[in-house]
Amino acid sequence: MFITIIFNAVWVGILAGILGFLVQSGWKNVVKSEEDKKTEALSIGAGIFIDLGKIRLFLLSILMGVVFVIWANYDSAITDGSGTVFGFIIWLATEGIYDPVFKKKPWFFHKPWQQSVSHIIAFILWGWTIYLVAIGLPISGVYF
């Protein structure tokens, strides 16, 4: 029984993370600065580049989707705010603390406010998308 719950939560979390990443990356394109346009990319030939920053966000999104669904199976308090609080906390942990501490990006209050607001909204929509996928697939075990 325990293995079935974990297995179902993992594949639903992976799906939720992928869809959440698509929503988040689409919303982040609403406001882009020159710094965002300069990305670290890996050329795979024939003029095709892989954006390494997007790969990091993609993997983080999948991991956090799995964490959210597994956590929601055992403690429904994480679903308070329909995933939006979870999205805001992840934004605060990644772009508010991790990136500036390790000097990947400047502190959010040193960026234009429009960019910070756009990124916060992107993470809130990302968390909400993960929540909607989790409750939309009853096999995940996450309910209202």
What tokens does 139 get? 């096999």
And the tokens for 133?
A: 């996928």
Question: For the segment 75-108, what is each residue's pLDDT rounded down to a tens digit?
Answer: 888 888 888 999 999 989 988 898 889 887 888 7
**Integer Cα distance of 20 and 93 in angstroms:** 17
Predicted pLDDT of residue 16: 92
Digit-coded pLDDT (tens) for 5-55: 888 888 999 999 999 999 988 887 776 666 665 555 666 666 666 777 778
Q: How confident is the model at residue 128 (pLDDT cuts 50, 70, 90)?
A: very high
pTM of the model: 0.82
